[in-house]
Amino acid sequence: MLVIVAAGAVALVWWAQRPAPKETGGEWSHAGSNAGKPATSASPSVEARGGEIEQKDHAGKVLWKLKITGTFTTDKNLGTVRGKDVQWDLVKAGGKDWRAVAPEVQVDYSAKRIRFPSGARVAALDGAVSFEAGQVEYQMDNGKLICSGQPTMRLRGSYVRAKEFVVDMQRRLVSARRVRAVYAR
C-alpha cells in the first residue's frame, strides 16, 4: 500500500508539472513562492487540495481508484511536492480497500525520494491488517521502502515490531533489525 501511496505522490508531481493542469474535483491555486516556505526557486508553485487517480481496464471498468485529500504544493523547477495532513483512500475492484494517513509527505523527484518524516499509518478498512512507522522513505531509484521509528505491522491480533524494516521491491525481500513479534493464539 505504501508503494501505491508513493506512486500517487509521484503522479502528483507529474500532474502538477504537465501543461495547463485541469481541475478534477480539487481546488487549484497558483502561489508566487513555496506557500510559506523560503523561496528556493524562481518558478511559481502550484497548490492542490485533493484529487483522484483511477485505472480502468479496456472495457472501462475501474480496476482501482486512489482518492487523495490534504494540501499539496509543488515547485516545477525543483521537482518537489510537499503535502500536509494527507490521506489516501485506495479502492480496488474485488479486493481490500486501504487508507493511508500521514501528517506530512515530501517528494523530491530529482533525488528520487518520497519521505514521510512525521510517520505514516496504513490500514485495510476491514481492520484485518495495519502498518505504522515513525518515519518512512521510499527510494524510487532502487525500489526500497525504509521504515524506522518503531515500525509495527499488525495482523488479526498479532504484531511484528522492529527498529527498522527495509522492503526491497526489486528483490521481493523484507529485512528487519531488532525484531519483536507477538502472535495471537
Query: Rounded mean pLDDT of 46-63?
Result: 85
Q: Which residue has the higher pLDDT, 185 or 87?
A: 87
For position 15, what pLDDT does the model report? 45
The full DSSP string for the chain is: -HHHHHHHHHHHHHHHHSSS---SSSEEEEESSSTTSPP--SSPEEEEEEEEEEEE-TTS-EEEEEEEEEEEEEETTTTEEEEEEEEEEEEETTS--EEEEEEEEEEETTTTEEEETT-EEEEETTSSEEEEESEEEEETTTTEEEEESS-EEEETTEEEE-SEEEEETTTTEEEEES-EEE---
pLDDT band at 102 (very low <50, low <70, confident <90, very high): very high
Query: Rounded mean pLDDT of 34-62?
Result: 70
d(CA 176, CA 126): 26
Query: Rounded mean pLDDT of 37-41?
Result: 48
For position 54, what pLDDT does the model report? 87
pLDDT band at 185 (very low <50, low <70, confident <90, very high): low
Nearest to 175 by CA among 150, 144, 154, 149: 144
pLDDT in tens, 10-36: 444 444 444 433 334 443 333 333 334
Strands 180-182 and 45-56: unpaired
pLDDT in tens, 113-153: 999 999 999 888 888 888 999 999 999 999 898 999 999 99
Task: Please report, for the chain, the start and end positions of each structural domain, with discontinuous segments joined by +.
Answer: 2-182
pLDDT band at 45 (very low <50, low <70, confident <90, very high): low
Nearest to 174 by CA among 182, 183, 166, 162: 166
The listed range with the strongest mean pLDDT (86-95, 111-120, 167-176) is 111-120
Q: Which residue has the higher pLDDT, 50 or 124?
A: 124
What is the pLDDT of the chain when averaged over all its residues?
Answer: 78
For position 35, what pLDDT does the model report? 38
- Which CATH code of 2.40.50.1020, 3.40.190.10, 3.40.1390.30, 2.60.450.10 fits the domain covering 2-182? 2.60.450.10
Amino acid letter at 100? A
